[in-house]
Amino acid sequence: MKANEKTNVMRVLDGKKISYESHSYEPDATLTGEDIAGILGEEPDKVFKTLVTQGKSGAYYVFVVPVKAELDLKKAAKACGEKAVAMIKQKELLPLTGYVHGGCSPVGMKKQFKTFIHKTATDHDRVFVSAGKVGFQIELAPTDLIDVAGCIVEDII
């Protein structure tokens, strides 16, 4: 990453004067979240992935969970007051959020959706999420992430 290269996520954080550290790695579509944690030299439970769902009502919801974990769709539905939620199709991600698969961040989406983060995020001083582009991660305090993305802290895995 060039020293002056900024993603939209970084611009949002800069605009809100939120402290973060950016990390980059060689983009590779075959990398898992756990692989990325390894590249960053971090525990997988500190690295979070962003998942986008749609409820029975048609509303969209964002869930931020540790990369090793799987979103519990029943707990997710309960958290957002829906009968059920389902993952959106990969091709719907870019038009809906402005982000591509593997580069989706809870910060700076085209539209603000109701966002939930797994409660373990608050167990750490710093957490990692995508910086909005494949090959880029940001590291920040979970409280700052919760504030900037308007996250609701829940048990969703």
At 102-126, the pLDDT tens digits run 999 999 999 999 999 999 999 999 9
Q: Cβ–Cβ contacts within 10 Å for residue 152, how many? A: 14
**Burial class of residue 141, CB neighbours in 10 A (0-12, 13-18, 19+):** middle
Q: What residue has token string 């290269």?
A: 5
Which run of H or of E encompasses 115? strand 114-118
Cα separation values, 135 from 9, 36, 43, 82, Å: 13, 9, 18, 33
Beta-bridged to residue 64, according to DSSP, are 50, 117
**Burial class of residue 40, CB neighbours in 10 A (0-12, 13-18, 19+):** middle
Which run of H or of E encompasses 138? strand 136-140
- How far apart are the C-alpha atoms of 146 and 132, rounded to whole Å? 16
**pLDDT tens for residues 55-99?**
999 999 999 999 999 999 999 999 999 999 999 999 999 999 999
**pLDDT tens for residues 8-30?**
999 999 999 999 999 999 988 88
Q: Cβ–Cβ contacts within 10 Å for residue 118, how many? A: 23
| Per-residue model confidence (pLDDT) at position 96 | 98
Cα separation values, 101 from 95, 98, 134, Å: 11, 10, 8
Can you list the domains of the chain with their CATH numbers?
8-154 (3.90.960.10)
